Amino acid sequence: MKHTNSNWKPMIMYCNNCSQKLMGFMNDESITKYECSRCQCSLVSKQMGRRHTQVDIYAPVEQVAIF
């Protein structure tokens, strides 16, 4: 098993669905995972560059995203 020296950095974000304040931890690959306790959606944030952040929002299993 490969041992990695992970440096976890706390990150704060607001849920795009319900505006709940979320906290997650960024790993060495600049990926942060959040889960909202109010609306149960999952968010995955990836920092692509200095001024570019990609956020993927996943609806809970029983719900459907409507655009």
| Sheet order of strands, 21-26 included | 9-14, 21-26, 31-35, 42-49, 52-58
Alpha-carbon gap, residue 60 to 42, rounded angstroms = 7
First to last CA, the chain: 44
pLDDT digits (tens, 9 = 90+) for 52-65: 999 999 988 887 76
> Could you tell me the pTM of the whole model?
0.76
The DSSP bridge pattern shows strands 21-26 and 42-49 to be unpaired
User: Is the pLDDT assigned to residue 1 strictly greater than 90?
Assistant: no
- Provide the 8-state DSSP code for 66: -
Strand ranges (E), the chain: 9-14, 21-26, 31-35, 42-49, 52-58
